[in-house]
Structure 1
Amino acid sequence: MPVMVLTSEYVSLNGIDLSEYARKAELAVEVEEKDVTTYSSAGWKVVIGGLKSGGLDCEFLNDFAATRIDSIMWPLLGAVVPFEVRPTNAAVSVSNPKYTGNVLIKEWKPIEGSVGDEASSSASFPTSGPVLRATS
Structure 2
Amino acid sequence: MRFAPRHRRRSSEDSLLPLINIVFLLLIFFMVAGRLTSSDPFEVEAPESISEGLPQPEIPNLLLGRDGSLALNGEIVSRDKLGQHLAPLLDGEGPAKLRLRADGRADTPEVVALMEELRGHGIERLQLITQPQRDAQP
TM-score (norm 2): 0.20
**Structure that is richer in strand per residue:** 1
TM-score (norm 1): 0.20
**Structure that is richer in helix per residue:** 2
